[in-house]
Amino acid sequence: MTSRFPIERIEARILDIPTIRPHKLSFGSISRQSPVIVQLWLANGACGFGEAATIGGPSWNEESPESIQHAINAYLAPALLGQDGACFEAALSRMDSACKGNAFAKSAVEMALIDAVARSLSLPAWQLLGGKRHQSLPLAWTLASGDVARDLEEAQLRLEQKRHRIFKMKIGARSPEQDVAHVSQIARGLAGRATLTVDINQAWDGNTARRYLPQLIDAGVTLIEQPVAKWNLEALKTLSATLGDRASIMADETVCTPQDAMLLARAQACHVFSLKVAKHGGLLRTRQVAAVADAADIGWYGGTMLETSIGSAASAHVFATLGTQHHGCELFGPQLLVDDIVTERMEIRDFELQLPDGPGFGVEVDMAQLNRFDRARTGLTSV
Ligand code: MUC
Ligand code: MG
């Protein structure tokens, strides 16, 4: 069989884009994002873009911008050159043979591949991923300045602008008592006007979570993301069983592969999966994890690694194809960055992200902006 879309060239570069304010999480504070942007050219001249963003170098999980760029240049690109770009699953399997793990790196390459092929066919990427089921999704914003007054100001503005009415608070860096006080103050300030969620990013042990999560729920929190370490399935299970009638427990760092999803589903250890294209290793594998959620009566949430508009639009395309049991999405990454690398961002209207149409991921990359933030030009080093 002749190859319809031979892969000709793949390049990966690291950008450094400052954030509009420090973003504080349980494991540190970031003031810039360093996404890896992949360009993939097919022999027909079409070029697709992909992205993998990490948070705080390798502090969210094992991969860093530098390791992602290296895996792509040294192993993943050589495994794909000359192969048929239209055979997505075969490309994934070649990448798996060349390189164990490295899900973020693989996801950026697969993204660029799907964008390039979709553009060659003049189709939106969602058409190649099963078809669109949602036109828009409720869009959360994360309050993570670390300061109650500033968080409340941010939330008020976003409510007035009709952009966000789901607010996620990043906690776990301070003492649980301080976190409960912080969340309670914000909950009082926004009473009745917003849905409140928290992300603890693995910071608590099981006993701390059992003691303090009920207090957060009393304050008004309805969705609790990754309260305990990623390995702590037993604690997740107990929390889900005991708190489940008052709030939902969402797995994030614990659910990466379809096998992780199966373990969580079998143990009935959470109510929702946070889906993220990078940690699942691509758009197709995000659908596999979502399929486990669907089969196990587990909800899904459209998560982010704070990508630019490239990775966010790609995520929007796959989220657009998923089932109805969802808790909205948090593809607000572009708004957290001082500037973007596309000519026009996805639209936010009436508290919902309008899910884009094609061709490809439906966003046009501004090459001047890409060059402006390119680490090879700015000379910045790793975080
Ligand atoms: C995470 O763990 O969910 C997503 C939003 C945000 O503020 O941080 C990320 C990472
Ligand atoms: Mg999270």
Instruction: Give the atom of ligand 1 at the shortest distance from the alpha carbon of 330.
Output: 5
The tens digit of pLDDT for each residue in 2-21 reads: 788 999 999 999 999 999 99
Mean pLDDT (whole number) for 47-71 = 97
CATH of the domain at 164: 3.20.20.120
Residues 247 and 112 in one domain: no
State residue 367's pLDDT score.
Answer: 98
Same domain as 138, residue 37: no
When the pLDDT of each residue in the chain is averaged and rounded to a whole number, the result is: 97
Interface confidence (ipTM) of the complex: 0.98
Q: Are residues 324 and 259 in the same domain?
A: yes
Q: Are 115 and 224 found together in one domain?
A: no
CA of 90 to the centre of ligand 1 (A): 31
Judged against a pLDDT cut of 90, whether residue 185 lies above it is answered with: yes
- Is residue 117 located within the same domain as residue 146? no
Q: Are 51 and 37 in contact (CB under 8 A)?
A: yes
Residue 1: pLDDT band with limits 50, 70, 90: low
Does one domain contain both 81 and 155? Answer: no
- In this structure, the answer to whether residues 181 and 61 fall within a common structural domain is no
Q: How far apart are CA 225 and CA 270, in angstroms?
A: 10
Mutate to test the pocket of ligand 1, among 26, 31, 55, 335 (most ligand atoms within 8 A of CB): 55
pLDDT of residue 323: 98
Give 336-362 pLDDT, tens digit per residue.
999 999 999 999 999 999 999 989 999
Evaluate whether residue 231 is within a structural domain.
yes
Q: Does one domain contain both 220 and 301?
A: yes
180 and 65, same structural domain? no
- pLDDT score for 269: 98
Is 2 within the bounds of a domain? no
Domain that holds residue 338: 128-354
**How far is 18 from 34, CA to CA, in rounded Å?**
9
**Structural domain count of the chain:** 2
One-character DSSP codes across 209-233: HHHHHHHHHHHTEEEEE--B-TT-H
Model pLDDT for residues 141-167, shown as the tens digit of each residue: 999 998 999 999 999 999 999 999 999
pLDDT digits (tens, 9 = 90+) for 97-130: 999 999 999 999 999 999 999 999 999 999 999 9
Domain-located, residue 380 = no
Q: Is residue 383 part of a domain?
A: no
Cβ atoms of 226 and 252 closer than 8 Å: yes
Ligand nearest to the CA of 25: 1
CA distances from 303 to 149, 284, 360 (A): 26, 16, 21
Q: Are residues 118 and 168 in the same domain?
A: no
